[in-house]
Amino acid sequence: MSKKLKFLASTVTALTAVSVTAAESFLYILSNRKGNVDFLFKDEEENKTDLDRAIDKVRSEDYEWLMHQDLTHYYITSRDGLKLHASYLPAATETDRFVLCIHGYRCSGNREFDSISRFYHDLGINAFMIDHRAHGESEGNYITYGAKESVDCMDWLKFMRKEFGENIEIILHGVSMGAATVMIMTGKMLPNNVVFAVEDCGYSTLKAQLCYNFNQYHFPAELSYQLYRLSAKLRAHFDPEKCNPIEGVEQSNIPILFAHGEEDEFVPFDMVYANFDACPSPVKKLITVPGAKHAQAFQMDDQVKDAIVKMIDNYM
């Protein structure tokens, strides 16, 4: 090989190594359980309003209440061999009514659904709170933003039917990444047990969501996304380009409640209109909440709670 060809080959090898290293850095920041994502939330505490702190106080009290309940813990193995965890809060009296609680990015079932699980419990509905892969007590290193989580949740539905009975009735309630997961699920062959879904502040496509967040934190969005996509394929074994919750909701035929805070600075507020408009379900409702930030719609506006109660009355 000539010196020129050797130099070219070594340069390509070096650039490839640099690209892969950079790509893995993006995956570490955005998808690994141990990744440092402080930059995503660094301004959150100092920018809190009195209303934010009031919501935090209520949620803290509800979480304390939840942790003093007699929770049952369940486990399944994912299709790629991960041990997944869920905690179960039964209603005060025996019932065949359930809600599958599907949490968001870097949260957990119990933390995300502190107040929401108590709300359902007070309505006499069993709350089944899963921990996504790489979250809470579940195994795994990489978050796939609904791509693999939706498959895991379909397996949880199968587990619930086997554990609690073939005739149980199930609500799907997802928040943020959990809402995106719910939308993907609505495009799958859901069992007849699923009676309606709640989609709270979910994104339409993963690419649009990530590019929005990259821009927020002053990364070059398109380059960052391509590096992330490369690392996701190499390490997490999924393609972000194919993670499009809106394509799931386009196939939905169950009643869906869409909710989103109008001051959401994490998932773009306008995405809720795209998701709602794409949904062909014969029964759908949209609630937007003025003044509500990311994942605050349920806490800030009784319209959301009232709409859920009405859907329970109509479909369960």
- pLDDT tens digits for the chain (316 residues)? 554 433 333 333 333 343 444 455 555 555 656 555 555 555 566 788 999 999 999 999 999 999 999 999 999 999 999 999 999 999 999 999 999 999 999 999 999 999 999 999 999 999 999 999 999 999 999 999 999 999 999 999 999 999 999 999 999 999 999 999 999 999 999 999 999 999 999 999 999 999 999 898 888 999 989 988 988 898 889 999 999 999 999 999 999 999 999 999 999 999 999 999 999 999 999 999 999 999 999 999 999 999 999 999 999 9
- pLDDT tens by residue, 265-304: 999 999 999 999 999 999 999 999 999 999 999 999 999 9
Instruction: Name the residue among 272, 297, 262 with its Cα closest to residue 115.
Output: 297
Residues 6+ apart with CB under 8 A from 50: none
Q: Are 257 and 287 in contact (CB under 8 A)?
A: yes
Q: Where in the chain are the domains?
A: 45-205+243-315
Q: Are 303 and 206 in contact (CB under 8 A)?
A: no
315: how many CB neighbours lie within 10 A of its CB? 13
Alpha helices in the chain (DSSP H): 3-30, 38-41, 50-67, 109-112, 114-122, 149-164, 177-186, 206-216, 221-231, 245-249, 271-278, 297-300, 302-315
Q: Does domain 45-205+243-315 have CATH number 3.90.1150.10?
A: no
How many Cα atoms within 13 Å fall on the side-chain side of residue 167? 2
Query: Does residue 9 sit in helix, strand or coil?
Result: helix
Q: What is the pLDDT of residue 235?
A: 85
Does this model's pTM top 0.85? My answer is yes
CA dihedral 34, 69, 185, 171 (to 10 degrees): -160
DSSP state of 240: G
Residues 6+ apart with CB under 8 A from 49: none
Q: Are 181 and 174 in contact (CB under 8 A)?
A: yes
Q: Are 200 and 174 in contact (CB under 8 A)?
A: yes
Residues 6+ apart with CB under 8 A from 207: 225, 240, 241, 243
Q: Are 221 and 229 in contact (CB under 8 A)?
A: no
Instruction: Name the residue among 252, 245, 240, 172 with its Cα closest to residue 203.
Output: 245
